[in-house]
């Protein structure tokens, strides 16, 4: 043990357990705070620099920069977060946030400011810029522009652009409330000289680092302007637009040419949703307007703007002009106080009508998150100067890939909004021509996403348990997989809904073949001959091959391309990395072993790859390699302290039978210091399928789940079993599966039958709450956010999405498969609240009282039923928490209480005071 422990440490120390590895310490809760994760990982385009924020679970982050020519840590940045590497990779920029202590103790959070730290990737030198609101580095690393995080001077005479002009003061045109202008500081990073531009709202440096476009906005709006500044010693300035109230909301420079696009609005219309924005193009020293392709359409403030990588297309968003805002009457005089219309305009009311497409909570949620500022996708073709509308009010959704110049996948769920509430998600799908916006129907009323060929001529989808190919030229549909002896339908699908396929790997770039997943393998289907070719041989050795897609915008595979594949052994669970050469369909293994390997990044313009390898005892640090994978080199060592703790034994796979005799597996992790023949306390953590975690390094955090090493380091075994369900009887089928799995541990002589606990959250919280109504096998249960009464939960609301919960029972996770009025007996059969009198197991129920997935009164119902039946039940209500605990104090508190609970019931330790006496609403 450590020589001295703080009072906090003492409060957090977990019990040691009977078997402890010599010379190594058991993990304590405070030790979890120190474990770091790499966040916002960036690999430079030339493959020479790696950066990320090493973020502990509790504490201040440290920005790290590595040079990959020697795998050395070049620089560490205190409190460095969100790293960005410029294209030339000569600078890494970090946002330096305030200390954790400052954030926890400062009452006025808006007084806390961020700094910017630049790291020179050659020398490691750091430059700090204080109070930075936002910033941009030029691609060549010559220039830095950042906004100084203090409000702009209200004196418009302090502006430095064209401040000699004669400005006629008119009435104020105020900016939108959240639109803030700040001083823009332009820094020449070669000679450290600076230049200040006053009152800047938006800005962007061009690709060449030669020009800066700014939108300046002043408090009264009279001197607003859009200007172009030459980045040189004199900062020559050209005013492009000088108009009271003018503002450029979005700015996008062309990737290879000196062309700028921006959206231009004016605060003179103070209704930001009804303010017209124009799309402007600055090209060849001229400013032109790109007209909307639809009549009575406009661009809104929140519209997105982006260029294709080749610069041939400018993607922008627009929407139909909104009708005039309905003005509500207000009380203005004595008569208005008695006017019916005025009185009723002050009401608070939502009318729920049976014919509404969406119930009101869903309508409200969709309004706030999507529909309030709904835009539709359009494109401007630079060379032909043509505009095409790609999505619209009839087909609002479009899967954008700016690299595909031919066709994109569009969809509309509008005809099925009402059915979503009980039947799941459906949509109509289309191929949309990028050139002119024309669309061709692929499939309607479909629950999955089809795969569209790069050319837009073909689409593949899964229907009637087979893979279908549709030629959109003649609408002919061909079934591809009927004669193939392989499993293309997901055989683990145990829901009362349409069985999905295993999905698609993609297409060849010329659209001649579609690559389809079966359970084990990757198949190529020729779109003309329909001939099938199996590209991998996974079925023979129980290995599942899947393509690793590092470039999400890649349009298609070349015919001779060599693909990286993950190769997961479904029996032994390790995930290795292989290569598939499409030229000859040859397979070669490049990373192998009883571990989990993941290729996570590729440098855009270099033969450089990052991958991780992990096991339960090995943290997934970064390794670098080239495409040969012959000489991988370790780069990071983020958590060496793993070796200081009695972490737990090497995980083992346990085989058992499901409720219907199906072969299933679970992962058993014995406690540190375990000796053969020991019978130990076991905590079972589960959800659905868990055995794929065999080689996963555990999440080092405290939240709604057990921290596995906390238990295995302190005398417990952890068991992670797979669970299967029977439609209509999820409670009984999961209970029988769990009994079979746990009994296997007892039969093996590992689990002490009097010391087995169960812990689950959400769907597993429900299962654990139900299981103890059917069996006394478990000596203590911790159940997080469980549904206890399916009859009441059926017509509840998922507050986060606004959806009715009915779909969850009829077609989804709860697996009843029928409505409440079709089969009330099934809803009762599967509801633990109706069998509370049968419970003999102590249970700890946990809920956040702002749960946005499960109504938290489901926990109250079960607690009250158990209380009425005189059972041992404790309810933890965490105030203001959603479905998963978010507040750090609550995460720590629940983790401590869970350990105390199991320590008492499984180890016989004295019960904590709250377990025997509860806690007063207010301690006095």
Closest C-alpha among 668, 546, 566 to residue 612: 566
Residue 22 has pLDDT above 60, yes or no: no
What the block records as the tokens of 571 is 């029996």
Please report the pLDDT score of residue 5 as a whole number. Answer: 32
Give the mean pLDDT of 405-422.
97
What the block records as the tokens of 831 is 């509801």
Residue 1 has pLDDT above 80, yes or no: no
Please state, in angstroms and rounded to a whole number, the distance separating the CA atoms of residues 718 and 902.
12
Q: Give phi and psi for 761, each to the nearest 5.
A: -130, 145
Instruction: Please give the full DSSP string across 137-179, using - where no structure is assigned.
Output: E-TTSSEEEEEEEEEPPS-GGG--SSTTS-----S--PPPTT-
Please report the pLDDT score of residue 159 as a whole number. Answer: 46
228 neighbors 237 (Cβ within 8 angstroms) = yes
What the block records as the tokens of 98 is 């305030």
Please report the pLDDT score of residue 630 as a whole number. Answer: 96
Please state, in angstroms and rounded to a whole number, the distance separating the CA atoms of residues 610 and 622.
6
Please state, in angstroms and rounded to a whole number, the distance separating the CA atoms of residues 790 and 91.
57
811 neighbors 496 (Cβ within 8 angstroms) = yes
What percent of the chain clears pLDDT 90, i.e. is strictly above it? 94
Residue 8 has pLDDT above 80, yes or no: no
Give the mean pLDDT of 199-223.
97
What's the pTM? 0.93
pLDDT in tens, 511-559: 999 999 999 999 999 999 999 999 999 999 999 999 999 999 999 999 9
Q: What is the DSSP letter of 367?
A: I
Please report the pLDDT score of residue 18 as a whole number. Answer: 38
pLDDT in tens, 44-62: 999 999 999 999 999 999 9
pLDDT in tens, 616-653: 999 999 999 999 999 999 999 999 999 999 999 999 99
What the block records as the tokens of 525 is 């289907």
Residue 168 has pLDDT above 80, yes or no: no
Give the mean pLDDT of 900-905.
98
Please report the pLDDT score of residue 20 as a whole number. Answer: 40
Please report the pLDDT score of residue 170 as a whole number. Answer: 55
DSSP H or E stretch at residue 363: helix 360-366
Label each residue of 437-472 as H, E or C: CCEEEEEEEECCCCEECCCCCEEEEEECCEEEEEEC
Distance of CA 477 to the CA centre of its chain: 35
Model confidence at 215, pLDDT cuts 50, 70, 90, reads: very high
Residue 606 has pLDDT above 80, yes or no: yes
Give the mean pLDDT of 263-268.
97
3-state class (DSSP) for residue 323: coil
String of b and e for 143-164 (b: at least 16 CB within 10 Å)? bbbbbbbeebeeebeebebeee
Please state, in angstroms and rounded to a whole number, the distance separating the CA atoms of residues 713 and 21.
9
Model confidence at 151, pLDDT cuts 50, 70, 90, reads: low
Please report the pLDDT score of residue 764 as a whole number. Answer: 98
3-state class (DSSP) for residue 884: coil
Nearest 5 degrees, angle CA 200-CA 203-CA 208? 145
Q: Give phi and psi for 747, each to the nearest 5.
A: -65, -30
pLDDT in tens, 105-130: 999 999 999 999 999 999 999 999 99
What the block records as the tokens of 916 is 């025997």
Please report the pLDDT score of residue 7 as a whole number. Answer: 31
Distance of CA 31 to the CA centre of its chain: 27
Please state, in angstroms and rounded to a whole number, the distance separating the CA atoms of residues 254 and 172.
35
pLDDT in tens, 489-503: 999 999 999 999 999
Please report the pLDDT score of residue 558 as a whole number. Answer: 97
Instruction: Please give the full DSSP string across 733-756, using - where no structure is assigned.
Output: HHHHHHHHHHHHHHHTT-EEEEEE
Please state, in angstroms and rounded to a whole number, the distance separating the CA atoms of residues 242 and 231.
21
pLDDT in tens, 269-314: 999 999 999 999 999 999 999 998 888 999 999 999 999 999 999 9
How many Cα atoms within 13 Å fall on the side-chain side of residue 895? 30
Closest C-alpha among 414, 367, 373, 375 to residue 391: 375
What percent of the chain clears pLDDT 70, i.e. is strictly above it? 95
Please state, in angstroms and rounded to a whole number, the distance separating the CA atoms of residues 147 and 153.
13
Please state, in angstroms and rounded to a whole number, the distance separating the CA atoms of residues 15 and 23.
17
Q: Is the dihedral of CA 332, 337, 338, 343 positive or negative?
A: positive
Please report the pLDDT score of residue 158 as a whole number. Answer: 43
Residues in contact with 184: Cβ distance below 8 Å, sequence separation at least 6, in sequence order: 145, 146, 147, 148, 196, 197, 198, 200, 203, 214
């Amino acid at each position: 043990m450590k020589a001295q422990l703080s009072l906090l440490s003492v409060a957090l120390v977990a019990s040691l357990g009977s078997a402890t590895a010599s010379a190594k310490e058991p993990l304590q809760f405070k030790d979890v705070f120190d474990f770091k994760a790499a966040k916002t990982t960036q690999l430079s385009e030339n493959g020479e620099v790696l950066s990320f924020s090493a973020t502990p679970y509790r504490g201040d982050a440290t920005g790290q920069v590595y040079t990959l020519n020697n795998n050395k840590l070049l620089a560490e940045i205190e409190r460095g977060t969100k790293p960005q590497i410029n294209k030339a990779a000569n600078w890494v920029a970090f946002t330096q946030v305030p200390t954790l202590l400052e954030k926890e103790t400062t009452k006025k959070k808006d007084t806390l400011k961020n700094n910017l730290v630049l790291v020179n990737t050659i020398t490691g030198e750091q430059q700090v810029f204080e109070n930075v609101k936002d910033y941009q580095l030029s691609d060549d690393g010559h220039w830095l522009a950042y906004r100084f995080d203090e409000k702009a001077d209200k004196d418009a005479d302090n502006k430095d652009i064209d401040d000699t002009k004669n400005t006629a003061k008119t009435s104020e045109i105020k900016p939108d409330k959240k639109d803030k202008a700040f001083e823009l500081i332009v820094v020449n990073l070669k000679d450290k000289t600076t230049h200040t531009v006053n009152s800047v709202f938006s800005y962007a440096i061009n690709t060449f680092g030669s020009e800066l476009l700014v939108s300046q906005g002043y408090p009264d709006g009279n001197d607003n302007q859009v200007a172009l500044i030459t980045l040189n010693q004199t900062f020559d300035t050209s005013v492009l637009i000088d108009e009271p109230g003018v503002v450029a909301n979005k700015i996008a420079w062309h990737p290879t040419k000196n062309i700028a696009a921006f959206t231009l609005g004016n605060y003179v219309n103070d209704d930001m949703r009804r303010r017209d924005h124009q799309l402007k193009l600055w090209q060849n020293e001229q400013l032109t307007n790109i007209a909307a392709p639809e009549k009575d359409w406009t661009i809104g403030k929140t519209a997105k703007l982006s260029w294709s990588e080749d610069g041939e297309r400018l993607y922008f968003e627009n929407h139909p002009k909104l009708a005039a805002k309905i003005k509500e009457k207000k009380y203005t005089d004595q008569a208005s106080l008695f006017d019916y219309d005025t009185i009723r305009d002050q009401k608070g009311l939502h009318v729920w009508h049976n014919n509404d497409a969406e119930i009101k909570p869903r309508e409200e949620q969709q309004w706030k998150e999507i529909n309030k500022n709904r835009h539709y996708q359009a494109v401007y073709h630079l060379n032909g100067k043509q505009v095409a509308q790609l999505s619209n009010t009839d087909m609002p959704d479009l899967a954008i890939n700016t690299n595909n110049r031919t066709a994109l996948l569009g969809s509309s769920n509008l005809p099925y909004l009402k059915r979503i509430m009980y039947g799941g998600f459906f949509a109509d799908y289309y191929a949309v021509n990028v050139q002119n916006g024309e669309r061709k129907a692929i499939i309607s009323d479909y629950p999955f996403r089809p795969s569209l060929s790069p050319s837009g001529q073909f689409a593949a989808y899964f229907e009637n348990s087979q893979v279908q190919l549709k030629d959109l030229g003649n609408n002919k549909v061909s079934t591809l997989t009927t004669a193939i002896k392989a499993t293309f339908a997901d055989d683990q699908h145990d829901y009362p809904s349409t069985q999905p396929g295993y999905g698609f790997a993609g297409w060849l770039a010329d659209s001649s073949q579609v690559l389809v997943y079966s359970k084990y393998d990757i198949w190529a289907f020729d779109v003309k001959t329909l001939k099938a070719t199996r590209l991998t041989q996974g079925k023979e050795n129980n290995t599942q091959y899947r393509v690793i897609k590092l470039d999400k915008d890649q349009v298609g595979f070349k015919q001779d391309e060599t693909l990286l594949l993950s190769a997961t052994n479904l029996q032994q669970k390790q995930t290795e990395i292989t290569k598939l050469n499409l030229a000859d369909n040859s397979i070669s293994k490049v990373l192998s072993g009883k571990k989990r390997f993941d290729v996570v990044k590729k440098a855009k313009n270099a033969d450089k790859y990052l991958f991780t390898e992990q096991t339960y005892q090995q943290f997934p640090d970064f390794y670098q390699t080239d495409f040969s994978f012959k000489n991988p080199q370790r780069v990071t060592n983020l958590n060496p302290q793993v070796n200081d703790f009695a972490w737990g034994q090497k995980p083992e796979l346990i085989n058992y039978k499901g409720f219907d005799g199906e072969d299933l597996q679970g992962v058993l992790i014995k406690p540190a210091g375990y000796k053969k023949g020991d019978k130990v306390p076991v905590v079972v953590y589960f959800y659905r399928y868990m055995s794929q975690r065999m080689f996963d390094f555990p999440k080092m955090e405290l939240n709604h789940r057990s921290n596995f090493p906390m238990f295995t380091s302190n005398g417990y075994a952890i068991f992670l079993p797979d669970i299967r369900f029977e439609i209509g009887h999820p409670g009984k089928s999961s209970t029988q599966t769990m009994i079979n799995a746990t009994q296997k541990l007892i039969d093996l002589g590992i689990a002490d039958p009097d010391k087995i606990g169960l812990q689950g959250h959400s769907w597993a919280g429900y299962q654990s709450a139900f299981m103890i109504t059917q069996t006394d096998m478990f000596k203590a249960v911790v159940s997080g956010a469980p549904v206890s009464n399916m009859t009441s939960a059926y017509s509840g609301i998922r507050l986060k999405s606004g959806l009715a919960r009915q779909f969850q029972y009829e077609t989804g996770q709860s697996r009843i498969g029928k409505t409440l009025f079709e089969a009330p007996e099934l809803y009762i059969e599967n509801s633990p609240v109706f069998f509370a009198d049968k419970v003999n197991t102590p249970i700890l129920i946990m809920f956040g009282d702002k749960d946005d997935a499960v109504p938290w009164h489901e926990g109250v119902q079960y607690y009250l039923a158990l209380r009425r039946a005189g059972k041992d039940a404790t309810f933890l209500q965490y105030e203001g928490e959603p479905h998963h605990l978010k507040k750090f104090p609550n995460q720590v508190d629940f983790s401590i209480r869970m350990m105390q609970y199991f320590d008492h019931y499984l180890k016989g330790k004295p019960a904590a005071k709250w377990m025997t006496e509860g806690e007063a609403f207010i301690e006095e």
